[in-house]
Amino acid sequence: MMEHSARNAADAVSFDGFSLFPTQRQLLKDGKPVSIGSRAFDLLCALVARPGEVLSTQELISIVWRNIFVDEANLRVNLTHLRRALGEGEGKRYIVNIPGRGYMFRALLATPQTRPTSPGSAFAQAAASSTADLMGEEPQPLSLPRRISRVIGRDDVIQSLAAKLTNRRFLTVVGPGGIGKTTVALSVADQLLSNVNGQAILIDLAPILDPAQVPNSVAAALGLAIRTHDESESILEFLKGRTLLLIFDGCEHLAEAVASLVERIYLAKSNVYVLATSREPLRVVGENIHRLEPLAVPPEDDRLTAADIQAYSAVELFVERLGGGLEVTPESVFRIAEICRRLDGVALAIELAAGRAGTYGIEGLAARLDDRFKLLTLGRRTALPRQQTLRATIDWSYTLLAEQEQKILRHCGIFPDVFSLEGLAAVLGTGEQCDLGDAVESLVDKSLIVVKVTRDSVHYRLLDSMRAYAVDRLGEVDERNAAARRHALHVCGALGAERLQAGANLSSGLHITVADVRAALVWCFSGNDDRRVAVSLATDAGAFFLERSLLTECADWSEKALAILTDDERGSHQEVELLSNFAMPILFTRGGNDVVRSSLSRAIALLENRDDYSRWARLLRGLYVCHLREGNFRGMREVAERSQIQTFAEQSRSQNSWMMGLCQYFSGEHAAATETLSRALTILPVKRRVGETGVDPRVNAYNALARSQWFRGFADQALLTSGRNLAESAALDHPVSHCIALTWMAPIPLWTGDLDLAEQRIAELVETANRGALAPSRLAGSAWQGVIATRRGDHKTGLHLLQSSIDGMIGINNRLLHIIFLGHLAEALAAGGRLQDAIRAIDDAMALVDLYGETVNMPLLLRLRGDYLLALDPNDLDAAQTHYMRSLEWAERQGALAMELRTTLSLMKVHEMRGNSPIGRALLMAVYRRFTEGFSTADLVEARRVLSLAEGS
C-alpha cells in the first residue's frame, strides 16, 4: 500500500513550508533537506496519504513494517522522531493521537500546482481511491472507542437523554470541561443503539483547528474518500436511507462550522441521529440542549453518616478511582467528601485527585488542593491532551475566548462565591460596564460561568477549579491586587448601603455574601497598606456578622480594627461600633468578663453627650445582657431603670420595657412581669432584624413571660407562649436567638410533665449550639440533658452532666442559670442518696440569691431543702415544716401558684406524719381550687390523686 500510494502521488505534496517527495524519499523544509530516518519517513508518507483519517496502530505497523512483527513501542519511538523532525512542540501540531483509535495527519496539503486544500488534495484523493479499491467494498465508518471503566452517577441522565434523542433526533450535551460530556454521550449511544438498529460514529473534533476541515473530517470518520475541498454533499448523500448516530464530540471551538453541517443533516429528514457535546450550544434548528450537572456531592451536614456520604456519586467515583491501594475508612470518607465538594463534583478533577491519593494520602491530598493545578496533572495516557491535566482542560476553553471575555472571566475569580453584574462591574473598574451583561451571558453559554436564578434576582458563580484558574490568570497579568482592592471597596459600599436600608427593611440591591466579606477583610488586613478601608470594612461588617450569628469572626475582626485606630479616630462613632461588635460576641461565645464590661462601658460613656439616643439605647441593652449572662440581677435592674429614665423617645422607652419585665421576673414579681412583657410584645415588631447587640428583645420577653405564666398557674398559656416563641426564633434563622429561646423554653414541658417534648427541645438546643459553636448554650443543653436523665431514673448520668456543665459555666463566667442548675444538681445528688451533698448544693444556691438578688427560685430552693431535711431525719418534722412555710410565704408574695401547689404537696406529708391529714387535705384543696387551667399537667394530676386518696381514707 505504501508503494501504491507513492506511485499515485504527484511529484510532491506540500504543507506548512515542508515538501514531501515520496518517490525520491526526501523531505525538504523551506527548500532545505530535513534529516529523517527511513521508518519515520514511511510513517509520514502513510499518514499524509490519508489526511484527516485516523489510522490505527496496527494499520500503521502493517504499512511501515510489512510482514515483520514489531512491538507498538517501535511505532511510538519513530513517531517521536518524526514529530521532532517536523518541529512539533514549537506551537505547531501535524500528527494527532486519537486515544483508543490511532493517529491522524491534520495539516492542510497542497501540490505544487494547486492552492492548499483540506484533505481533498490530489495526493490524498489518489491514496483514498487506492485504499477503497484494495478493500473491494464501500468504505466503512469507524467504530466507537471501547469504554474501559464503569460510568458512575449518570444512569438516570443517560436513560433520559437516550429517550429524548430517540424522539427528537438532535441533542447537544453542554457543560464545562471535564464534567463528563463525552462519557455520557458514549453511554447514550450504547443505550440508543440497543433500541435502534444502526451504528454510532464518533467524530472527535478536538484535533481539528481549521473550521474548513470539519466536513472532510466527518467524511473521513464515515469512511468516505476525500475528493473535494468540502465533502458536505457526499456526506448527505451517504447518509440517505441509513440509520446512524453521529456523535460530534468537542464542538465549542468549531461551533459555527459544526452547526452549519449538523443543521443540514437534521433537516434532511433521514434516520440519522445527531448527538453533540460542547461547552456552549450550537444554536441551530432542531437542537435540544441538556446542560450536564456536576456529580452529586454531599452537603456540609454534621448529621450525615459515612454510609450516607458514600451514596453520593462524586464520592463513589473518587473511591472507585482511588490510587495506591488505599483503604477507605469511615474517618477518611468525611475528608473525601470535602475533596469532592472543593472540586465541585467535576468528574475529571475527581478522577485526577483520586489518582494522586496514592502519593499523598487522602489527608495530604485535601491539604494540597489549594495548589490543584500542580497537583492534578497525571491523567490517563489514553485521554485527550486537553483532558490529561486539570489546567489543560480549562486552558482549552480560556484560549478560545476573546480578549475582553478573558478579562471578565479573570475578574470573576476575585469573588469567592456568587456575584452580581453590579459587583462584577465594580471589580472590573470604571468604563467596564458596557455590554457586560451580554459578555457574561456568553460566558454562561460557554459553560464557564454558572448562573443562579431566583424569583427576585440573577446571580453568577464560578466552579471552584475555574475560580482558582481565574485567580492564577489575574496574578499572571498583575491584576490581582487592583481587583482585590476594588472588591473590598465594593463590599464596604454594599455593607454601608445594607445598614442604611435596614431600618426600612429594604434591600440595598448590592448582593454580597459572607465569603465576600471574609475575602475583603483578609485582603485589607494582609499588609496592603489600606488601613482606612480596613477599619471602615470591619466596622460595617460587625452588624452583618452578628445577624448571621458569626460571633467569633465579628469579635476577631473588630479587635483587629480597634488595634489600628489612630488617635484621631479614637472616641469616634467607629470606635463605638467596634467596641460593641467586639464585646457582644464574646459574651455569647465565652461568657461575660471584665473586657466585655469595660468595652461596653467605654462605648456608652463616649455616647453620653451625643445626640444619638438610638445607638446609646442599643449599647445599654448590650450592657444589660452582659449583667444577665453573669447573673448580676441588681446590675440588670440598674441598667433597666437607667434606660427608662434616659431614653427620650417614647417608642424606644416602650421597646426597652422588656428589660424591666425580665428584672421583674427574676425578682419573682410575676403579675407585674406578665403585664410589662405582654405590653412590650405588642410593641416589639414580629418581623425584625436581630439587633446589633446580637440579642432579640422579643425572644427574651417571651422567655420570661412563659415562665411567669407557669409560675402563676397558667400552664396552658405557658405552653402556647413557649411554642410561639420557638416558632418565631426559628424563623429568624439566628442561632443565638434560637438557642436562648430553647434554653429557657425547655423547662416548660419539663414542669408540666411532658418529658418527651422537653427532650426534643433539649436535643434541638444541643444541635443548634454545636453548629454555631455557642459554648454557653451547649453547656446549658448538657445540663438540661442531665435533668432529663435524673427524671428518667439515671441519676449517675444526670449528676455527671449537671456537675460538668455547672463547672463549664463558671469557667466562662456565665452564671445566669447557675442557681436553677444547682437546684437540679441537688435533685440528682438526693436521687443517689447523697442527701448532705444535696443540702450543701441548695445552700450554695441560696447564697447566690443573697449575692445577686435573683429571688424567683426561693420557693423552689426552700421546698427542696425541706424535702432533703425530712428524708435525712424523718423525726425532725419541725425543720422541714419551717422550710415549707417559708417557701409558701415566698410563693404567695410572688403570686407563684404553681410553687404553692408543689410546696403544699410536700407540706401535706408532714401533716400526715403528725396525724393531721385533714389539715393537709384542706390546704391542698384550697390551693387546687384556685387553678383555672392546666388540669392535665403532672402536678395537678398528682394533686387530684393525693386528694382522692385522702378522701378515701
The least confident of 92-106, 573-587, 708-722, 911-925 is 92-106
Residues 100-130 have pLDDT tens digits of 678 888 776 664 433 333 333 333 333 333 3
Residues 456-472 have pLDDT tens digits of 678 888 887 788 888 88
Residue 935 identity (one-letter amino acid): F
Instruction: Give residue 513's pLDDT.
Output: 87
- Looking at every residue in the chain, the average pLDDT score rounds to 82
CA 108 from centroid of its chain's CA atoms: 50
Residue 135 confidence class, pLDDT cut points 50, 70, 90? very low
Instruction: Give residue 355's pLDDT.
Output: 76
Q: In the beta sheet, which residues pair with residue 288?
A: 171
In 3D space, the residue among 713, 779, 710, 714 whose CA is nearest the CA of residue 750 turns out to be: 710
Per-residue H/E/C for 822-886: HHHHHHHHHHCCCHHHHHHHHHHHHHHHHHHCCCCCHHHHHHHHHHHHHHHCCCCHHHHHHHHHH
The least confident of 163-172, 564-573, 694-703 is 694-703
- Average pLDDT (82-92) is 75
Which residues fall within 8 angstroms of residue 681, CB to CB, at 6 or more apart?
A: 658, 698, 701, 702, 705
For the record, the C-alpha cell of 281 comes out as: 450550544
Torsion of CA 21, 25, 31, 36, to 10 degrees: 130
What is the rounded distance in angstroms from the CA atom of residue 284 to the CA atom of residue 286? Answer: 6
Q: With beta carbons less than 8 A apart as the criterion, state whether 431 and 360 touch.
A: no
- Average pLDDT (635-654) is 67
The answer to whether residue 668 scores a pLDDT higher than 90 is yes
Instruction: Give residue 382's pLDDT.
Output: 43
Instruction: Give residue 407's pLDDT.
Output: 92
**Backbone phi, then psi, for 333, in 5-degree steps?**
-60, -40
Instruction: Give residue 508's pLDDT.
Output: 43
> What's the full length of the chain, in residues?
953
Instruction: Give residue 110's pLDDT.
Output: 62
The answer to whether residue 856 scores a pLDDT higher than 70 is yes
For the record, the C-alpha cell of 42 comes out as: 514511511
Residues 389-401 have pLDDT tens digits of 567 777 877 888 8
Q: CA dist 126 to 445, 607, 855, 865, Å? A: 42, 94, 107, 111
The answer to whether residue 868 scores a pLDDT higher than 90 is yes
Instruction: Give residue 374's pLDDT.
Output: 55
Q: Which residues of 449-463 are buried (b: 16+ CB within 10 A; e: fewer)?
A: bbeeeeeeeebbbbb
Q: In the beta sheet, which residues pair with residue 109?
A: 117
Residue 33 confidence class, pLDDT cut points 50, 70, 90? confident
Residue 695 confidence class, pLDDT cut points 50, 70, 90? low
Q: Edge-to-edge strands of the sheet including 243-249?
A: 199-204, 243-249, 271-278, 170-174, 288-291
Residues 362-390 have pLDDT tens digits of 888 877 776 655 555 544 444 444 444 56
**Backbone phi, then psi, for 465, in 5-degree steps?**
-70, -40
3-state secondary structure of 512: coil
Q: Please state whether the predicted TM-score (pTM) of the whole model is above 0.75.
A: no
Instruction: Give residue 174's pLDDT.
Output: 93
Q: With beta carbons less than 8 A apart as the criterion, state whether 389 and 377 touch.
A: yes
